[in-house]
Chain A
């Protein structure tokens, strides 16, 4: 039986693989069927009813998103009747949506708003019937306003299926249906790991980041505050999307320039912290692998969403976790100690801002006493790429034309290894480069460990490090982590050798480039392009290994002593705790 079906769409012949949806088939013949609830990365649920189409000579309307093309189908996508029904459905959706576009974080960046604009809706014949629901901002990472929810279910799909967290679910039924934590408890009490993928997939303003940009402006205005900023690897290749740059454009120099104009006294880079993480983590790995100090595999800890997930669902993995803080937390701690001492600044006056692709970083900065290792809160505020993009727009900076500037020292300069932290597999690749150096005393002949790259959910490889085989696994998207952990546990229970020596986990699909705080509209295609922006910088870098970063060497010489020294342990490392999935 042939696997190809032949049909027509608006009279245009189309041949597609059996099982292809009408929506996808239509793109082949340059027909764009409007959608609302459908997200390119997620299963179609058919919730909104906007993508309806008709089959010729049949009055019934079908959903293009979840109806497969059948042989000899004559599909019509744009009859006056279809457009009329779509408009009616849209009017219904708007009648249950608060008219708050001007004061909504999704203004001009909202899928519902765009659709309403496309349809040129002016009719207001339906009464507004928006139920009152309280806003849940208990996590201080994301804000859930179910009045703005169109119940498309994307957030629930990512939370349950992609992330396996099951914090969000639908409550009630019919008109009362709304999203919330199961049991209608605050999200803070729920299994939520703050990854923010719900907000990244939301088509409207129902789930957004917990906006803290005003706090940053206030401090920038405060003459007593000494504002310092750092940017995460993945921010540089994504923020440009808000200004019309091509996806993946690396805008590091422009970002530095913009931040300096905003009034930051020092502009640092989390990539430096990434290099430092590698030094500490590779040291830890070496001692576990070669000296038998601690259990294997070693599991990375730089992703706070993953740390939350582990502490809530897999706390038996605590001994496996690297004690390294995440890179921005390291930079925060050093800014208020090493940098403050060198510059003669009172650390109490330093206000440390992290610009991250991440919503979980917002709560990471207060997660435990180790986050106050400098004697102060090491990082004062963490804002997302989205908040940062808005701040640039507010500041009157012409981001498109502003010339590049360099970062500040002594916590700014970085190597290519730090850059690739922003993509899934990047931490592993960077760590392998340095681990190789630690084991052999020389650099690997080929620095590109490509087995760690790409969007496969779990990447496994055996790497030869000067005669020692190192088995690694890289997982991204929390649902994919489960199979890795299952393997580790199974081997442990059977008393066998661990399946891996080193495991990298990133909570978000694609790693930080696909982070919950990144610009909207992330798809796999877009995640790949953002990652490309990081890998090409790494490839072009003179220095591609963290251990070659001269400022890292200086840091150890002047301040920390040696990797894993007492001071390093105190400032750069942390501990983990068992957290309940539900707080009550």
Chain B
């Protein structure tokens, strides 16, 4: 594809879309697929065919539209009226949607809010859940079919790559640095700096690796982005490759995300056929291609050096750094590993400019962040908020509090590496620094709401159990420390713990934090320690009575 063909393709696709009076987007991500979303799509198509409305109504799949707990979601857009978002649509309701809403709209009627049986299957788009979110990475979700390249191109897709092809590697790095984008995998290292470090290493072979090994319990941001907008990630990788003169792209995606793998595979095929990847990228003479490697389900393989070992076919265990992957990475060549969400941010930054991106967020944390809101939250799902929004707004307004009406006690962010943040700290604005200061971390973006009936001791036990199970076993502090800590926590949960056990937990935790080889072991004690810091009474209440000091 020649650079100037982008506009032609986009215009053609837009014209095609304009020809439809109504377009329906049904979430076809894995969550909604498990709730029969594909049946809904088939049902809509069948009904429209029966009514001979196929030429007027387009039926599409779509990426995640956020409110996963109410899926499958179906979005209706029309030239004549506001969008309607249906929730919890079952295949057998497809005919009803067509009959009660689509047909009337086609007949020129305006439907503010569907009535009858569909009344309780319609979401209010003015609800804070939608209104307070700021879509950037998720901008395309619900608006394109992730399996169609032309849909992506019609929404400015690959324009950022075209721009990158006219820029020097150094300038792309500068732009990224100026935007303030930081790694969305959790550590928050400045992306531009990471690219620039890799750029400066001289080598004939360099790798850009997309880390799609999202493994935190309760986190599904990266999987959703890969499923919902695969071309954005591919484009981000192509730009990253230009910025550091990388010669090969590698997707590392966990095998438990088969749909993400399928979508990325399909998108890569499309990109190659269209000349956007492969032997001659956008007719520039630059050859760049990708391969996909599947992770076998080990949490630790999200750690850069373990991820590299896994791609190389070795045991997924971390190795000491330095040398950093930028110097010696995959197959001993310079490599840059970026998280899915980070890469998905790249095209829009290049297209709209660093100042646009940097205008959102706090002083040191820019842009938007995806969170997977789960637990006792009323609204469960994928949300995108600007950095700097308070936790309270995220939890109480976007999340809508708890479904049961019970008081929220705390949230857990950063997954098994993060910590619990108690309710009295909810007015803290979201940023890498603030969350760390609260003893938690941004992590990849899991946010789990805990209500007053939940036991933080058992939650800490759950997370530690996860880390113990996922420890690679290479270093002693993590391998044995985690097991010992869990053993003590189990005692406390069983009611046989003593005050001495709590002291020992703290002691072992410190050894793990200070002496573990990688972040898994260093951070594994965090949930327990933060629970102890904020809710020690919940621990002491469960101790053996004799061990409790009398006042």
Contacts and interface: CB of A to CB of B under 8 A. Distances in A.
Interface stretch (B425-433, B470-478, B541-549): B470-478
Interface string B329-364: 000000000000000000000000000000000000
B511 A89 contact: yes
B473 A176 contact: yes
Contact of B479 (A45, A60, A85, A174): A174
B476 A49 contact: yes
A95 B514 contact: no
B486 to A, nearest CB: 9
Contacts of B473: 151, 170, 172-177
A170 B475 CA distance: 13
Interface in A114-164: 125-127, 129, 150-151, 153
B320 interface: yes
A562 interface: no
Interface in B507-538: 507-508, 510-511, 514-517
Contact of A175 (B475, B483, B510): B483
B298 interface: yes
Nearest to B298: A173
B322 interface: yes
Nearest to B484: A126
B118 interface: no
Contacts of B474: 45, 47, 151, 153, 177
B476 A85 contact: no
Contacts of B298: 173
Contacts of B475: 46-49
A227 to B, nearest CB: 45
Nearest to A169: B315
B435 to A, nearest CB: 18
B315 A52 contact: no
B283 interface: no
Nearest to B323: A68
Contact of B320 (A63, A95, A127, A129): A63
Interface residues of B, number: 32
B10 interface: no
B476 A46 contact: no
A116 B516 CA distance: 20
Contacts of A47: 474-476, 517
Nearest to B503: A125
Nearest to A48: B476
Given A129-B487, A151-B479, A68 B320 contact: no
B204 interface: no
Contacts of B517: 46-47, 49, 63
Interface in A308-345: none
Contact of B476 (A61, A89, A176): A89
Interface in A162-193: 170, 172-177
A68 B322 contact: yes
A66 interface: yes
A15 interface: no
A96 interface: yes
B508 A88 contact: yes
B319 A45 contact: yes
A92 B319 contact: no
A304 to B, nearest CB: 31
B516 A49 contact: yes
Contact of A49 (B470, B471, B477, B504): B477
Contacts of B484: 92, 95, 126-127, 129
Interface residues of A, number: 35
Interface in A42-68: 44-49, 52, 60-61, 63, 66-68
Given A126-B504, A175-B471, A151 B320 contact: no
A95 B480 contact: yes
A153 B481 CA distance: 19
Contacts of A174: 468-473, 479, 482-483
B315, B474, B508 pick with most chain A CB within 10 angstroms: B474
B515 A85 contact: yes
Nearest to B470: A174
A153 B315 CA distance: 13
B402 to A, nearest CB: 34
B426 to A, nearest CB: 27
A34 B279 CA distance: 54
A86 B477 CA distance: 10
B476 A170 contact: no
B116 to A, nearest CB: 55
Contacts of A176: 473
Interface string B166-195: 000000000000000000000000000000
B476, B487, B516 pick with most chain A CB within 10 angstroms: B476
Contacts of A66: 320
B500 interface: yes
B504 A92 contact: no
A93 B480 contact: yes
Contacts of B504: 125-126
B477 A89 contact: yes
A66 B517 CA distance: 11
A86 B319 CA distance: 20
A453 B470 CA distance: 49
Contact of A46 (B320, B508, B510, B514): B320
A93 B484 CA distance: 11
Nearest to A70: B322
A173 to B, nearest CB: 5
B264 to A, nearest CB: 27
A85 B522 CA distance: 13
B40 to A, nearest CB: 40
Given A47-B517, A49-B515, A52-B515, A175 B320 contact: no
A127 B515 contact: no
A150 B517 CA distance: 15
Interface string A65-77: 0111000000000
A63 B516 CA distance: 10
B410 to A, nearest CB: 25
Interface in B457-476: 468-476
Interface in B481-501: 481-484, 487, 500
Nearest to B521: A49
A67 B471 CA distance: 22
Given A92-B484, A125-B504, A126-B504, A175 B514 contact: no
Nearest to A177: B473
B511 A85 contact: yes
A153 to B, nearest CB: 8
Given A92-B476, A92-B484, A170-B473, A61 B515 contact: yes
A89 B510 CA distance: 10
Given A66-B320, A126-B504, A173-B298, A88 B510 contact: yes
Contacts of A96: 476, 479-480, 483
A61 B514 contact: yes
A90 to B, nearest CB: 9
Interface string B300-320: 000000000000000100011
Interface in A84-118: 85-86, 88-89, 92-93, 95-96
A157 B481 CA distance: 24
B500 A85 contact: no
Contacts of B468: 174-175
Contacts of B315: 170, 173
Given A89-B511, A126-B504, A129-B483, 14 more contacts: A46-B319, A46-B517, A47-B475, A49-B511, A95-B484, A96-B483, A125-B504, A126-B508, A127-B484, A129-B480, A129-B487, A173-B472, A174-B471, A175-B483
Complex A-B, nearest 8 residue pairs according to Cβ-Cβ distance, in ascending order: A177-B473, A49-B515, A88-B511, A66-B320, A174-B471, A46-B320, A92-B480, A175-B483
16 contacts: A46-B319, A46-B475, A49-B515, A49-B517, A61-B514, A88-B507, A88-B508, A89-B481, A92-B480, A92-B484, A96-B479, A150-B476, A170-B315, A173-B315, A175-B468, A177-B479
Interface of B: 298, 315, 319-320, 322, 468-477, 479-484, 487, 500, 504, 507-508, 510-511, 514-517
